[in-house]
Amino acid sequence: MPTLVRKCPKCQKLFWTKEQDIVYSDDNTWRVTCQHCQQVLRIPLITQGANAGAPKMGH
């Protein structure tokens, strides 16, 4: 999987997460940690449609 780029809702900085840094909370949620402020973020996965299995990127 490619590198995931996210914007932290707490510190508003971009951070990059690699697959080995992702913790699977359950089948539909990733848990990652912001590299700047160390806040734990939960990212829901898209479960239906053409992008199923991909992270929801805030759209």
Residue 19 vs residue 58, higher pLDDT: 19
- The 8 Å CB, 24+ separation contacts for 49-55 are 55/4, 55/30
- Tell whether 26 is covered by a domain: yes
Residue 58 inside a domain? The answer is no
pLDDT, residue 27, reads 81
54 within some domain:
no
Is residue 38, in this structure, part of any structural domain at all?
yes
Residue 15 lies in a domain: yes
What is the model's pLDDT at position 55? 65
Share of residues in the chain with pLDDT > 70 (%): 71
Phi, psi of 12 (to 5 degrees): 65, 20
- pTM here is 0.62
Residue 10 belongs to some domain of the structure: yes
Name the residue type at position 46: I
**Burial of 21 per CB tally in 10 Å (0-12, 13-18, 19+):** middle
- Domain that includes residue 9, residue range: 4-44
Q: How many CB atoms lie within 10 A of CB 32?
A: 20
51 part of a folded domain = no
State pLDDT tens for residues 26-40: 888 889 999 999 999
